[in-house]
Amino acid sequence: ERPGGGQPTISMRTDKPPYDDVRVRRALMMATDFEAVNDSFYEGRGQILTWPYAYSTTYADLYLGLDDPEMPDSVKELYVYNPEKAKELLAEAGYPEGFKTTALITASQVDYYSIVKDMWSKVGVEIDLDVKERGAWQVIMRKHEHEALAYYPQGPVSMFYTAIPLRGTSPSNAQMLDDPIINEALDRMLVTLASEGETAGMAIYKDLMKYVLDQAFVIPGASGFSSHFWWPWLKNYTGEF
């Protein structure tokens, strides 16, 4: 078995209120019951921390997991369902009664977003699901014309060096990040990849995740597993599909 793809992320436009306030972003993480989603969809076997990338054996050196001893407690608490703390953070940010927002998605994301919509309603946040045909959705995402929340799939982990979920004009950066701390670390990572190799470069990326995940720019969706079978006489197979 290997991790499955297509996890339904929720990107928040950090260049606009209310998502320019980290307290709001952290509140919405705590208002999301990741374990319930994992148990319901994947029998508890899925990955929960899947953004910017899910865990992959080949790229294990860049993944900072929830059980990693280097993971800050301030990040771990984001993945624990805590609607009361979420309400407190929203009140601190100036939204004691919550707020209304919209999410740009395609039809394939309706089920997942409907679950999140129900969870967030318990802390006063109402989501209007703006469901678009895939072509229309792609045009809006490429132009960064989504209003607030949006879904956009991640690229393969092998492209981590491009860092398109963390900066730049790609629709993968639906959260509109242009963060000096991130930019400096990524520039340093690129130099290190060229001068010292992939392992050293991935170590910089992993260390950066302590900051990135703490900022709660994106709410990840749990990722399931896919199973691969092949004949025992097939030699030199390394998992291609």
For residue range 89-127, list pLDDT tens digits in order: 999 999 999 999 999 999 999 999 999 999 999 999 999
pLDDT above 70: percentage of residues in the chain: 95
Question: Which residues lie closer than 8 Å to 84 by C-beta, 6 or more apart?
Answer: none
**Cis upstream peptide for 52 (omega within 30°):** yes
In this prediction, residue 88 has a pLDDT band, given cuts at 50, 70 and 90, of: very high
Helices (H), 31-163: 34-42, 73-76, 83-92, 110-121, 134-142
- pLDDT for residue 155: 81
- pLDDT for residue 4: 52
- pLDDT for residue 156: 85
59: DSSP letter: G
186-221 per-position pLDDT tens digit: 999 999 999 999 999 999 999 999 999 999 999 998
13-56 per-position pLDDT tens digit: 999 999 999 999 999 999 999 999 888 878 888 889 999 998 88
- Asked if 193 contacts 235 with a C-beta cutoff of 8 angstroms, the reply is no
> 0.85 cut: is pTM over it?
yes
